[in-house]
Homo-oligomer: A and B are copies of this chain.
């Protein structure tokens, strides 16, 4: 363990001078600087990050809280955060929660322990009530419009869903269903609210059996289609909040000889590459940008206004 003291000794200077050289501080005579650099070389000195972190009270590391790492949505958000973090010399710690409350709380705990400088909550499962004791004086960014929090970035899911309904109705769709992931969480709640309001605004009733939940993956989409087939009264269109699920629906429909969009129209969200591959009309959601903005909010000292991101519709042949 060659440390700063040994360097100081070898270079015949004090530890503070070594520290200055190592951190590019000014006011070090070139001669001594060289001596220090020389000693560093010879002794193969490497700074100990933990000592720096302790001394500075900062780690230049940000934590990201998310349920899964193998979903395109979270991959993309991570990519956005990582890109921005890199620019600013920050590293990323991921807290994969599987939506387990304890695992999620662990991340907040680590924040309190100063293991990370801040947290970006890509998606959560604990209530704000549970989390708020951990929020005080901490730098936490939420990727949702969570009332009572300072830093947040989100899509206006309410309007997006309503826009989706407004897109479907003039094309002859009055019976519209919805596929979502969860019923918990601001984002999901906003979607459901937008859906209900939109349906009711057109004089229709929301039908519970037309709302499919727990839809995450391609496989779930396939099951939705099978479910849809069984329905006595079928919606003529589905709004699907993930391209993966939409792709599952479309692929299974093809197998069953169901014609998209004539038998069933599909309007999806995210506009990932898979939407194009399946010719699915999809709202483009700037997920990567969401990640970038989240990181930039983290960097800001005083929480500014929430960042709201826009979506726009990419029309293909599924509607």
- Footprint of B on A, CB under 8 Å? 46-51, 53-54, 59, 61, 68-72, 74-76, 78-79, 82-83, 86, 91-96, 103, 110, 112-115, 217-219, 244, 247-248, 251, 273-274, 276-278, 288
Nearest opposing residue in chain B for A63, CB measure: B91
A113 touches B46 (CB 8 A): yes
With contacts A54-B50, A110-B49, A113-B46 taken as known, whether A93 is within 8 angstroms of B277 at the C-beta atoms is: no
> In the complex, A316→B53 CA distance in Å?
53
Smallest CB separation, A259 vs chain B (Å) = 15
A284 to chain B, nearest CB (A): 15
* A61→B277 contact, CB < 8 A: no
Q: Residue A54 contacts which of B54, B78, B278 (CB distance < 8 angstroms)?
A: B54
Minimum CB distance partner of A91 in chain B: B93
Q: Name A94's contact: one of B82, B217, B248 (CB within 8 Å).
A: B82
Min CB gap A247→B, angstroms: 6
Taking CB atoms, residues of chain B closer than 8 Å to A50 are 50, 53-54, 59, 114-115
* B72, A72: Cβ atoms closer than 8 Å: yes
Q: Are A112 and B82 in contact (CB under 8 A)?
A: no
CA distance in complex: A103, B90 (Å):
12
Name, among A68, A95, A96, A110, the residue most crowded by chain B CB atoms within 10 Å (CB to CB).
A96
A71 lies within 8 A of B82 (CB): no
